[in-house]
Amino acid sequence: MDGSVIGFIVWALFGCFMIGLGIRAFFSKKAVGFWANIKTFPVNDIRGYNRATGKLFITYGFVFIVLGVPLLSGQNTPYILLSVLGVMIETIAIMAIYSLFITKKYKGK
């Protein structure tokens, strides 16, 4: 098996892990955490909050896998930069979406 295929498989497994986290969050009964090692804020609608956070994680996982497709063409292609920059932008985007929209919508008093 070629090294680029193995690299893509590892990349896709991480994306599947993120999709799994999203599915788990989607069906969780308690408010799920977004930030590591930080307690979740008081949530006024736990079901809606978990669904929004789950959708965010699932979308992140799918986009992450799609951004890994250039890895299949080998290491010496300029398209790998697209993968790296794409993941950086995607990660910043989900942090902004969570902070600006989900937190404001579901934060309890």
Which residues touch 62 (CB under 8 Å, ≥6 apart)?
Answer: 15, 19
**What pLDDT is attached to residue 75?**
67
Residue 105: how many other CB atoms lie within 10 Å:
13
Phi, psi of 27 (to 5 degrees): -105, 10
Task: Report pLDDT digits (tens) over 58-90.
Answer: 999 999 999 999 888 876 677 888 889 999 999
CA dihedral 98, 107, 33, 94 (to 10 degrees): 0
User: Exposure of 64 by Cβ count < 10 A (0-12 exposed, 13-18 middle, 19+ buried)?
Assistant: buried
The 10s digit of each residue's pLDDT in 4-63 is 888 899 999 999 999 999 999 999 999 998 988 888 889 999 999 999 999 999 999 999
